[in-house]
Every structure is written in C-alpha cells, then in structure tokens.
Amino acid sequence: MDTGLLIQYLIIAVAVLVSAWVVLKKQFPGTVRKLRGALALVLLKPGRAAWLQALGRKVAPPTSGSGGACGGCDSCGPIPPKQH
C-alpha cells in the first residue's frame, strides 16, 4: 500500500471517530457519562501503574453536584421575593 494512501485512510479514520464521539456526546450524554465512569473505574484500580491512574482521573466524568455547602437540593438559601 502506498504511504500517501495509508496516511489518507488514517486521517479519514480519525475524522470518523471524532465525528462519532461528538454525536454520542450530543445525542446520548448519559451513556457517555456511564462509559467514561466505567472506564475510569477500571483504570483507577489499586495496583495499576501511576500513568494509568492519571489517565483514569482525566477520563472520569466531572462531578454533577451543585456548588452548595451541603450538596443537596439548593433550597437552603433566602427565598426570593414574589414577582407580581
């Protein structure tokens, strides 16, 4: 196989993978979050190499908690005045 053709196929493969990832994130965010969490748990097991654990921390989905002090329902603040 010609080197130029191989490079072309690799570029197309990368473009297809990136496109598939974007569609997954937009259409199925819950599934992507579960996949990232499962992959992170596998990589963060005790006894793994340090670079694998670092990769697991980067892959892990961001926390979905609120910025409140207790992380609860966010109803502990002052009640806003009613608008008429």
Q: Is the pLDDT of residue 53 over 90?
A: yes
The pLDDT score that the predictor gives to residue 84 is 72
**pLDDT tens, position by position, 5-49:** 999 999 999 999 999 999 999 999 999 999 999 999 999 999 999
What is the number of residues in the chain? 84
Map 5-44 to HEC letters. HHHHHHHHHHHHHHHHHHHHHHHCHHHHHHHHHHHHHHHC
pLDDT at res. 47: 92
pLDDT of residue 50: 94
Q: What is the pLDDT of residue 77?
A: 65
pLDDT at residue 69, rounded to an integer:
56
Show the tokens assigned to 34: 């579960």
On whether the CB atoms of residues 40 and 47 are closer than 8 A, the answer is no
